[in-house]
Amino acid sequence: MKSILNISAYKFVALSETAHWRENIRSQAQALGLKGTVLLAHEGINLFVAGGEADVRAFLAWLMAHEPFGDLPIKESWSGTVPFGRLLVKVKPEIIRMNHPTIRPQAQRAPAVDAKTLARWLDAGVDDAGREVVTLDTRNAFEVDHGRLKGAHDWRISKFSEFPQALQTHRAELEGKTVVSYCTGGIRCEKAALLMAEVGIENVLQLDGGILKYFEETGGKHFAGNCFVFDERGTLNDTLAPVRAV
């Protein structure tokens, strides 16, 4: 029986008093017996936590009652055991490191396309304006090797901070097309979309909610393989179930 609720969420939002938030979030999560990772930075929050359903929902209710996190978009999945060994709450310079300070997603969100619309575009090969659609996987190469959207561009990066240089090398592949960047949950592809727009590539979108939301809403249409996740579940299939039992 899969009784453990796993949640993942991120939000780019200008966040002050990160040390204060770290202590309060740690205290609430510990009191409810949750495990996982919460990253905080001046650009926002990124979290992956798991526990009993009532405890996880109580934590979310507390967190989302505070103004910076009131509309935090949550993605849910289930497992038989908690896939994290401990609780870690950290303050970092970025919640996902790009090392490109002009990209400030807390100030301006990247344009996005929802999962069902992307699936429809991939059926047709073009977007609603008739432009060719290409997808760009912004994850690390070893993640891509577990599964990806069919035909997606994959620049074989080993860490996300390599993306800006890879973009300089490969940008000609994207010119004149509608480019949809994607990643596991949305955080990397949002920064990637903003950077592509900054360097002058037109018609760039991110996949809203990433692969996890795409699986939830489309059943994995046009996706080959599974989605790697950074916890003990290893990979998830298109029903968001662990491929390897935990």
Residue 38, classed as helix, strand or coil, is strand
Cα–Cα distance for residue pair 103/108, rounded to 1 Å:
9
d(CA 93, CA 40) in angstroms, rounded, equals 8
Cα separation, 70 vs 183, whole angstroms: 24
b vs e for 218-236, b when ≥16 Cβ sit within 10 Å of the residue's Cβ? bebbbbebbbbbebebbbb
Q: What is the 3-state secondary structure (H, E, C) of 42-103?
A: CCEEEEEEEEEHHHHHHHHHHHHCCHHHCCCCEEEEEECCCCCCCEEEEECCCCCCCCCCCC
Which H or E run includes 24?
helix 18-31
Dist. CA 162–CA 200, nearest whole Å? 19
Which residues are marked as active site?
Answer: 183
Backbone angles phi, psi at 70, to 5 degrees: -65, -30
Token readout for 174 is 């994207």
